[in-house]
Structure 1
Amino acid sequence: MSVSPTALIIGASRGLGLALAGEWLARGWTVLATVRGAGRTALHELADSSNGRLTVETLEMTDPAAVDALRDRLSRRALDLLFVNAAVANGASERVDRVTTEEFSRVMVTNALAPMRIVERLGGLVRPDGTIAVMSSSLGSVALNETGGWEVYRASKAALNMLMRSYAARHAGDRHSLALVDPGWVRTDMGGAEASLDTGESIPGVADALEARRGRPGLQFFDYRGETVPW
């Protein structure tokens, strides 16, 4: 009997992460997915209807000890996909010189440092031909920034992209497929009601693009249509 592949989705209580968990369940995968707190979420409701194929884990991703504890709990699991989704945003129009040091640090730690800690600590659970993916954004593209705005968020995603480039360089001999994914502008709590896509338009494309690249080593930056995003 064949064993279904396994995905770990970091940050799946709502929005894109919840949709990612649902998408891989629909494709027949076993899914492990994390929430921040102990309260019940839409992810728990999805787990209730998953016939045991979705397991909810608790993780505060900015806490290194919590990340290590999750790694220990999953030490006997072999992952086909690790997808780090969680992120925060701040005001679209707020200039970087007007942001408090605390807010700048919060966005940078959550969007760049914490995801890379997870990649470093949990990447070893991914099968040699598996995929390590991190949710980025076209707003993190230096080449595409012709309008300004979202300055701290843009900087955090650009930092994440650079850190993944460094990770890829240090693991050049690995067979892992590494991905920075731009899901598009999606109608979620973060994306807002004016966004051009819903999760049903974005997330199946994300999954298709990742599946198409499975087993292809090296790092790529692409969007939900599978098209390359310029650095």
Structure 2
Amino acid sequence: MEQWQKQREWPSYDHRQPLHPYLILRAMPLTTAQQLAITIRVLASRSFQLNAGDSFGVAQSMVSRVVASVSDWFHQNSERFVKWHDERSRNAMQHRVFHDTGLPGVVGAIDGTHIAIPKPGDAQYSYINRKDFASINMGAIVDDNYRFLWFSARWPGRAHDSRVWRESQLYRPLRASRLIATAVCLRNAAITFREPDPYDDEGIEIEWEDDIGDGPEPDLNSGRNIT
């Protein structure tokens, strides 16, 4: 696991630190590494908790408690791991990406995905996306080492990507500071950044295709990405 982490240069944290008080497993003590591995297995593979339990030699009820508790811990501590650039990290990323690709001014890779959820009882229409299943519309930006810089997972599946972006806490700071100097080209959207007009503070123009039509849906999990 440590070798894989170094290869991918993922954000580091001491996995020996316990996840208490969010995770207390008295019936069958598990190390923090085991708890993380179980949670990642369930979330990444979308497998049944029973299958994950068999793989790690624990009961399904234990898997359920582990996933809930570890997820809660990360939710409570998300600001420790998901941070936008400071000036140093931004400049470093721009240098690395320019060195590797020749693209100037890149500060992140943006993409979106639909997270499937059970159909909610209330207002379920707003959660049914264009692929006809209930979901949360999630948008995220990562750096060139796959570290999350920003994410939003608060909008129902029917919400357009433009709304997810415009209503985010990152939209205005980016627009005000003009951190992004390049154009972004997504499969079904074009985002351009221009000099703000003194009479119009809309520093970002976004053109979106509201309807894809009868053609194939865009693959939301594919890399469209460069910001």
Assess same fold via TM > 0.5.
Answer: no
Query: TM-score, normalising length from structure 1?
Result: 0.29
Which structure is larger by alpha-carbon Rg, 1 or 2? Answer: 2
Query: TM-score, normalising length from structure 2?
Result: 0.30
**Larger helix share, 1 or 2:** 1
